[in-house]
Amino acid sequence: METVALLAPVTALEFVQDSFLLTGEGPILSVYSLHPRPKACTSLNVLQHYKIHGIRPACPSAETKRSPAKSIQKEKHGPSCAAEPHFTDLAVFGGKAVRLVRAHTHLLDGEHGHLEVLGPLMELQDWVLDLRWLLIDKQSLLCVALAHNSTLLLDVTAGRALVHSFCLESCLLYSALLLVHTSWADTVLVGGTVFNQLVVWRPGGRVKSGDSEHKAPIEQCLCGHTGVIFCISYCQERGYLASASDDRSVRVWDVGALGGPGGTCGNLNPACLWVLYGHQARVFSVRLSLANVFSAGEDGACIVWDLARSGKVVRRLKGHRAGGVRALAVSEGAGTEERWVATGGADGGVRVWRVEGREEKEKMEEETVTEKLTDLKFPGQGLPKAVCIEAEDEAMQWSQIKFVVCTDKGTVWQYRDEKWAVLWQGPPEFQSYCVMETVTANVKDSTTKAPLCAVGTLSGSIQVFPTSHPQSGIILAAGSGKIHSLIWHKGKDNTYLLASGAEGLVYRWSVEVKLGENHSLCLSINPLTLFFLPPCAKRWLTAAVLLRSWSKEMLWVCGDRRGSLILFHEREESEQTEGDEEVGNEDLLLDGKVNNHKEVPAPNLQPLSCLFGVHGKQGVTSVYEHKGLLYSTGRDGCVRVFRVYSMLSEKCKDSRQNSAGESMKNKERLQLEVLRVQRACKGMEWVERILILEPEREEEEDDEEVGEECLLEKLEDLGLENEGREARFAVVGFHAVHFVVWDPVRQEKLLMVPCGGGHRSWSLWPSHRGLWPGYGALVFIKQGAILVSHPPREELNGIQKAGRIGGWALRDGIHGRGIGCVCRLGSIEGEGKQWELVVTGGEDTSLTVLAIQSLVGSIEVLSVITDHISSVRTVTALTHSDRGTENQSKSLSALLVSAGGRAQIQCYRLQISWDRLRLTPACQVIQVAGHRLDKEWERRRNRHKMVKMDPETRYMSIAVVDEKADWVLIALSCSDGAVRLFSVSEDKSEINLLWETFYHQRCVLSVATCSLEVDEGSRCNLLFSAATDGKIAVWNLTDEGSATPPPIPCLVIPAHQSGVNSLAVWTETPEQQQGGCLVTIASGGDDGQLSVLTMRVQHPEDGSSNVVLPWIPESRTALQTQLKCSKELQLHLHSQHHIPLAHAAPLTALKLLRPGLVVSTSSDQRVCLWKISSTSISHRGALCSHVADAAGLAVWEGLTMDREEGDEMAGIESEQEISCWGEKGSRTGLETASRSSEHETAGRFDKETGDESKWGRLVEAGSETGDPVCKTHKDGGGERTDDPETQTDSDSMEIISEVNTETGVKDSSEKPDKTGWVLVCGQGLQLLQIRNTVMHREHMPRENGRGWPVN
């Protein structure tokens, strides 16, 4: 096995030369280039199965002089490297391991970045907490701080420890900081102990003691924390020491000078200057600069504190999901230069921010939209009631934007060039109440644009005027009642105004702007047919959008205050007929108002389709159309993605253009269909609108000046291909007292402004195109004042704007908490590359659709589904894809069913295709149905006579029983001791409970199904269920139509001493003379045991009932009981085998790769491969996984794909040499487990076979991307053994091909090589590849006739 892709918690970050960022996740060291734009460069497996906890670059003087790399590989580099170095030497540590790595900086900017391993892996006898470089006599040494309050001085060139110093206080440390100057005697260690103290001592300040050890006394002890100390940072210029603790605080101490000549240990009585409380959970990391403190913790926030103002919070950087920030790094920016701040999360994400230097700190605070607002000092009388942004040119900069404000005195004011001016004074009827909206309209026969303003009153009057020529306004009449709302809609050719009046009438006009005499603006208004809203309590319009679906027909999709979505249909001919009566300003005005006879054409338009109350009772806030799909928002906290569809067949759709009568018939069949519901973040119940997220572009700095028009042209070019595909969008709304722009995929806030909450007039800039460019500003009314949040400075480029608000995502994270289940959907191709599609479910209640490019290991998040109200425990999918044509190979459709806590089931249809714009797969999620047991109970009759279902019931496992044309049967295991059978109907959008049985009487942990042919033309469906008592029950579900469950299982088999966590089932046909069918059940349990049961299934017609079974020991005779099912099936236990300690911890997942070959994983972080036959179980290989708390597996097979030249950057490179350090720092052994990677060829290696009985110790067998593991010998030596009996299965395990035992020659039959893939999930994801799995036809998985393997 070899690691192909890894997404795990980021545990180490470090900047190099302010141009590169180094990250450590698991044992993988990655390099990101920060200029001209942040991007990934290369990755390397450095510490094998240790996690990286620290990265320390060598000082520049060490690189130009005699570095350890120069002595190790001087023949390779020569003396030219010392003259002008283009590399940086790194010391990487984690756990008990240390390794030297060289980053070639002159190559990292190109496409082929390179990291080079310098020397073997050094394994120490204690945990490494900190490491620093020390240059003595032009020789680079390593100072190492260990967990038991001791230090080491290592000579990596000679491979030995020079000094091992101990402290008199021999306690355990949680954190350590080494302060190194020019000599070992000047070195000072600051340690955070388990007693919540900071101890300061000098490793070179030894005193003689009774034993042979040299121990140094404690010089300082700092007390104050009430929790353990996780991180320590020191600022030498100011003499400040900062500590981050488990007590949620950061303390800053005035310790004075630490280290330096003589090893100064600071002030005699160091004082605690500030205790900083701002985190809501534990604080993991802290960094000090001259002016600021940077801290990050479990709450997922990085807080910037201002030391000049007594530790006031000046900025919060949040961009990670649940699980918190595990690593923090701050660049060395000096003076007025900007700093980079990087955070690595438990979700596997990496983000960087740009912050200003200390001299620009005030400007940075002004840019902080979460705390700095500006009052525009409104001078007018009365209170402002409505505010809008007036933008004559949609490409205007922020400094050119004008605001329009309407007061309760009927006065419209304009703010321009930092001055207020009266724009229009309304008559008395416009006082006390008004609604106002603005739009930018095109001037007919001109390239100019004119901003229009409409103001409505209580009496039904509407004033419409251009803001540049208010005297050219027109008064429209919309009945005699209150104008509830005004809506402008800018079409392709015309501008429409909709006014919602009394009694559910919606008045509409087509507004045209013309150039009059003396270049003045004139308005030409044409009244249109009224809309008539459905009867309801709150009967007025709140949102509307126009769809031009056919050449002469128009559709209007509207939303009302009752939360309904309404579809109206009108023909453009009627609009044109009425357009013949188009009149200028002088003809329209009659006593100051529009002629009512021309204003209201008859009859009124009735709704064509209505989704009543879909957004609850608080109303719809917006409706937006983008590339064929519609998006609606409401005050229920949801975004609904829906469409307009015809109920006719495809043949009938083509006939709508034949005649007007058939067109009207088709019109009546148009309906609104909700595809899916996307909830905003928790607590964000007031959603106002959505903004489409621009695709991230890969242009260089010169190309980043491309205007928005060019981007829109590109979007339009690809519009036909992306038509009907859901776009990535941001949700705009109110979260408590903040105005928030939320990204539901990345689960982050892009903008947050403290405005006081909803129920206020506001306007966002820029949003004229419906796009979110990565920055924005908000103008709003609060307590009678007009307030504006500050946008970014206009000279910043797009990268800096995005980085300032939400950080630049170098890598997107997924579930911040544990991943409990995973399911593979299939694969699609795009741009000549294959993408594997998987779905993961986690404890954060979300489902994530991922695309993994297995060739280079990149991972893309396609969609995040947040409909579950509790953790997702299990997921399965039915995939249908026809790869007969090239186009079909780029798309996939899957029916996804997920289940978990609170007895909740969700079903979705996933449609995945290739997106040419983003060059990644795109996913359209369609919600099919949902089900909850508590709601099922509420619908039952006579429920008062029944025991109420436990609302805390959890679904533990799911399996597909059968699939028909109109429904799918699924079985679920439940924590309340029940096995339940459901039917899922996609056509009816229903999930129905068919039956349930409580046979197990205890928590049922897993279920599996099997379909086998018992007679010609007839099949039998078997269900296997396993509970916490270790027994496996077999059920006959051949008669699926029966609503009554089987009274008892057909067979019950004790398999484990405790719970059975996972089942894998497959079938095979035995010899013809024996008849029947053999079913093999592999199971893994909490006892760490792997059990394999073989069962014979016979139909009475297969032969005599008295079948002679193979000999079974007497202890198992009780398991040979033959039970007859309702379908006369006969089940016999054929054989049973087990391995008592297959894993050192509970076996959590077991999957079938192919019949006879299974993969298992456990919380012991090992992934094992097992060969299973009818007579034995043999261990074929194991790998130490980098994913903690492994809980789920997905396995599949595909054709072998070799990496192309230049792809090594994305794959996880590895090396093989390992060094072990004995007690007290002396070198005791050095073993080379395989050849150096530079001598390896094409990723293919000879397999070093090992004794399967010794699989507990792992030795790598040589792989370019494998994970070599060290063997530590305490007797010294360091010789490599070539004896197969002393070697074991490899971390880089390959499936052995068939070998002729007589000749010893590999069978070279012409059969295509296949690659096995294993995806492990837990606290992260790891994709493993098993090479050289030769697939014979007789070994292919038997299918159950419905398109999926029986597993």
Picking from 910, 1052, 1024, the residue whose alpha carbon sits closest to that of residue 959 is 1024
Q: How far apart are CA 560 and CA 542, in angstroms?
A: 5
pLDDT above 80: residue 247 = yes
Average pLDDT over every residue of 534-548: 90
State residue 620's pLDDT score.
Answer: 95
- Give yes or no for a contact between 343 and 807, defined as CB atoms under 8 angstroms apart: yes
How large a percentage of the chain has pLDDT more than 90? 40
Tell me the average pLDDT of the chain. Answer: 77
State residue 946's pLDDT score.
Answer: 57
State residue 170's pLDDT score.
Answer: 85
Q: Are strands 777-782 and 785-789 parallel, antiparallel or unpaired?
A: antiparallel
State residue 1158's pLDDT score.
Answer: 94
Q: What is the DSSP string of 903-932?
A: GEEEEEEEEEEEETTTTEEEEEEEEEEEEE
Helix (H, G, I), strand (E, B) or coil at 1153: strand
pLDDT in tens, 995-1035: 889 999 999 999 999 988 766 667 788 999 999 999 999 99
The better pLDDT of the pair 1115, 474 is held by 474
- Give yes or no for a contact between 117 and 128, defined as CB atoms under 8 angstroms apart: no
CA distance to 2, 32, 51, 116, 475, per residue, from 15 (Å): 29, 10, 19, 18, 64
Q: What is the pTM of this model?
A: 0.80
Q: How far apart are CA 634 and CA 686, in angstroms?
A: 7
The better pLDDT of the pair 1288, 970 is held by 970
The most confident of 78-82, 108-112, 467-471, 1016-1020, by mean pLDDT: 467-471
pLDDT in tens, 119-132: 889 999 999 999 99
Average pLDDT over every residue of 1185-1206: 77
State residue 1108's pLDDT score.
Answer: 35
pLDDT above 60: residue 377 = yes
pLDDT in tens, 1116-1175: 333 333 333 444 678 888 889 999 999 999 999 999 998 889 999 999 999 999 999 878
pLDDT in tens, 1210-1262: 445 444 333 333 333 333 332 323 333 333 333 333 333 333 333 333 223 33
Helix (H, G, I), strand (E, B) or coil at 379: coil
Strand runs labelled E in 348-399: 350-355, 373-375, 384-390
State residue 1209's pLDDT score.
Answer: 40
- Give yes or no for a contact between 934 and 903, defined as CB atoms under 8 angstroms apart: yes
Which residues are bridge partners to 823 per DSSP? 839
Q: How far apart are CA 1047 and CA 142, in angstroms?
A: 71
Q: How far apart are CA 386 and CA 363, in angstroms?
A: 30
Q: Provide the CB-side half-sphere exposure for 808 (13 A, CA).
A: 27
- Give yes or no for a contact between 1035 and 1044, defined as CB atoms under 8 angstroms apart: no
pLDDT in tens, 724-769: 678 889 999 999 999 999 888 777 788 889 999 988 999 998 866 7
Q: Provide the CB-side half-sphere exposure for 524 (13 A, CA).
A: 15
Expressed in angstroms, the distance from the first to the final Cα of the chain is: 21
